[in-house]
Amino acid sequence: MPSRTPIAGTAVPPSTAPRPGRRPLDPIVHSLVGEFLTEQKEEREAAARSKRPPRPWRRIASISAIVACGAVWLVPSLGTRPAPEMSAERQDASARLTLFLAAQRVREFEQKNARLPASLGQAGVTDSRISIRRMGEREFSLTLVHDGRHWDLPSTTADSAYLGAALTRLGITPKSR
């Protein structure tokens, strides 16, 4: 237990109390050190009293914000429906356009290299549903197979005759009045 100094009447910390074999400290120093330690103790106690308990509304607000963000992220995915199946007419138009574009790539390759490509990949066609069949040195036929249906485009067929109304069905060109 700390001893009291006669001058200031404050507690003297044990570290400053006179020890055997050491010269005693000045009573003024004892009182200053005691006052300093008392002030520090009072400040710590005041800080401990002024600390407020954690506010529950902050935790509730945080949890609510997390739940709201999760709902905003999840709700749209719950409401989406799979795309409706394509009508047979639209599927036909899409297949015709796909074959037409692939034939254009094969024709470009043939013009640049004076030969037909050994594979569609050489011409830059990556659709695995399409195959090529040589019908002569410069003639070919492309076949697209999708859902058990087959579409063929011989290179001798005129583009406009093959595409017909496919572009209009796909909404690429306006309908004629």
21-67 residue pLDDT tens: 666 667 787 788 888 889 999 988 888 777 766 677 888 888 999 99
pLDDT of residue 147: 84
Summarize the confidence of residues 134-139 as an average pLDDT: 87
In which element (H, E) is residue 161 found?
helix 159-163
Residue 165's pLDDT band (boundaries 50, 70, 90)?
Answer: confident
Q: Where are the alpha helices (DSSP H) in 8-152?
A: 27-50, 56-79, 88-113, 120-123
According to DSSP, residue 131 is labeled E
Name the DSSP letter for residue 87.
P
| pLDDT (0 to 100) of residue 17 | 55
pLDDT at 141: 92
pLDDT at 55: 72
Most confident of 127-131, 161-165, 169-173: 127-131
CA–CA separation, 67 vs 69, rounded Å? 5
Rounded Cα distance between 111 and 46, Å, is 91
Contacts 24+ apart (CB under 8 A), 73-78: none
pLDDT score, position 54: 65
Percent helix, strand, coil in the chain, to 5, is 50, 10, 35
Q: Report the alpha-carbon distance of residue 163 to residue 151 in Å, rounded.
A: 12
Q: Alpha-carbon dihedral of residues 61, 63, 67, 72, nearest 10 degrees? A: 50
Taking the C-alpha atoms of residue 116 and residue 40, their distance in angstroms, rounded to an integer, is 93
